[in-house]
Chains A and B, each alone.
Chain A
Amino acid sequence: MFKMLRSDVLDLVALVGIDPDSDGLKRAKGLGLLAPHEGPEWVLDPGNNIDMIFDATSAYVHVRNAPKYREAGIVAVDLTPAARGPKVIPAVNLYEHLDSMNVNMVTCGGQATTPIVYAIRRAIDELPYAEMVSTIASLSAGPGTRANIDEFTVTTSAALREIGGASTSKAIIVMNPADPPIMMRNTVFGALPEGSDHDAVIASILEMVDEVARYVPGYHLKNEPVIEEGPFNTPGGVVPNRVVALLEVEGAGDYLPPYSGNLDIMTAAALRVGEAISIHKSGATA
């Protein structure tokens, strides 16, 4: 919400909830926004004239409403794991789905690591295997994520292949309860076949980190990427080396505390996508 209020492209009109007493709705009201608690019904009411919705409900709720939004001509940027529309990672495929009425933001870990996998892939001929490990503070993992953790690993792993370009992949998520809570950490491992240009791989990763940091300011490397020697018996075949990129995402601290980088990267990426679609559409109709 706070990020959207700062947007020059989008005009945030409402924060829609289902609980009239929720803290979020109260805050929205305090900022002069509409804060209805009638949920999707309100969004779909033609009188309210909504062009775009950022849906952070749940996969179940989104699946039920996605066709209705489409029918009503409302663009849906889906922050749930429902995956009704194409997956979008802004730093990689932002411009490929601008005409889509429904785009999916994958997962927080997917937003943090797919760009790096793509960066490794573009620097070498073939990326036989890529792996990501996300560690998030226990406090920042909501009950939806916790009740269905397989959704996170399966969806993220698919993004590393479909968008990142790895031939095979694996995604791992770990919850850490330490107090004070830890920042979101993401580690990417890429399998480097014989003859890979290691300098090119590292340069490509550094460039990509800058690219992502443009829309997620708290996104940075904790250490320079390193090349380690194996051999490694990966699912994509035995490789002599691997590259390791150790990333951290610090949240902007708008509404949620800085350790919630996992939530921040989702909202920042979704906003980037929403703005791009909006600019594209206004250009098309002008």
Chain B
Amino acid sequence: MSTQTTHRDFRLIDSTLRDGSHAISHQYTEDDVINIVKGLDAAGVEVIEIAHGDGLGGSSFNYGFSKVDEKLLIARACEATTNAQIACLLLPGIGIADDLREVRELGVNVARIAVHCTEADITEQHIKVAKKLEMEAIGFLMMSHMSSPEDLVKQALLMQSYGADTLYIADSAGAMTTEDVRRRVNALVNALEIPVGVHAHNNLSMAVANSIAAYEEGAKNLDGTSAGLGAGAGNCPTEILAAVSTKYGIETGVNPLALMDLAEEIVRPMMPRQQVIDRAGLILGYAGVYGSFLLHSQKAAERYGVSQAEILLELGRRKVVGGQEDMIIDVALELARAHAAQEGQ
């Protein structure tokens, strides 16, 4: 249904098969991937991202092992799509350049290179490899609520200088207000020559509003996931973003009703839990803690008989960044020890 002539005011990138992977503890099967890709493709979504939730090579003790090898899932996605481009995400330090080479062979043509918002210089190698492989390279600054608009601009300019085609900021903790998003996007749009994008999370129930605000400030790319499936309290739900955009008269080029069908009939039935903003999800946004810590901290709380909320608040105090999931065990053990000492008194 989508044609080259479709007008789009912004480009929608769907991350159900990457960020959504966190919410199902990386248990996607080949059939899940085929069904979701077909649904998104038919609805007119231009770019579909797929990888382990922590990016290529993320399958590990620290982040959870994938049920099915992500390269196999990516191959199925590339076969299942007709119009949509297939994207991947890579965090330098977790995945390596060879991962990009492998998925390029499979047919992936967009590479998002993600990094904590102050560490852009570690992406140079991978952005350049992506460009050499003739992929679109998207620089992706995570946890961007932790940096000022001015500091984000400095980091974004580095990525632009390495050859990034697009620059994204991610509200990985779902911690930003609409004003926070506006100031950041405005500064980036004014400073960069390349288009800007925003990846929103819903911990403070702001994901859709923040995405629309980003668009109004000049963002040309927005992320969503079907039914909001994603780390923490979930992402900006693709079908709601499409519906709200239509209400605003913003042309998305996607069919909101087809996206609603996909969310209702394919994605919701396979979700182990619906994407709600419960106490833990809200605390992530409130304390500014990386969203994918949600399920790992729940498990650690159960294992060591301590409070999940206390774990998350302590992680916030320690200013841990994405990737430091091992610190969840560290904090849980310390809390358990403190409790035992108190009871001993």
A residues sitting closer than 8 Å to B (CB atoms) are: 131, 133, 135, 138, 143, 146-150, 152-154, 170, 172-178, 182, 185, 187, 189, 191, 222-224, 226, 228-229, 232-235, 242, 244, 246
Contacts and interface: CB of A to CB of B under 8 A. Distances in A.
Main secondary structure of the interface of B (DSSP, over half): loop
Contact of A138 (B59, B118, B324): B118
Given A149-B93, A150-B96, A187-B62, A176 B330 contact: no
Contacts of A170: 57, 60
Contacts of A232: 61, 65
A178 B135 CA distance: 33
Interface stretch (B12-20, B121-129, B274-282): B121-129
B318 A226 contact: no
Contacts of A244: 326, 329
A133 B63 CA distance: 11
A148 B125 contact: yes
B93 A178 contact: no
A129 to B, nearest CB: 8
A179 to B, nearest CB: 8
Contacts of A175: 93, 116, 119, 122, 321
B326 A187 contact: yes
Contacts of A178: 318-319, 321
Contact of B125 (A135, A150, A246): A150
B321 A174 contact: yes
B162 to A, nearest CB: 11
26 contacts: A133-B323, A133-B326, A143-B121, A146-B121, A147-B125, A149-B92, A150-B97, A150-B98, A153-B93, A153-B94, A172-B62, A173-B93, A174-B93, A174-B321, A175-B93, A175-B122, A176-B319, A177-B116, A177-B118, A178-B319, A187-B326, A187-B330, A223-B330, A232-B65, A233-B65, A242-B61
Nearest to A176: B321
B333 to A, nearest CB: 4
A246 B116 contact: no
A259 to B, nearest CB: 13
Interface in B147-197: none
Contact of B122 (A146, A187, A235): A146
B204 interface: no
Interface string B298-339: 000001000000000000001111111111011001100100
- 10 closest pairs, A vs B, by CB? A187-B326, A189-B61, A178-B319, A174-B323, A177-B118, A233-B65, A223-B333, A173-B93, A150-B96, A146-B122
A174 B66 CA distance: 21
A133, A185, A223, A234 interface centre (most CB from chain B within 10 Å): A133
A209 B33 CA distance: 45
A214 B70 CA distance: 42
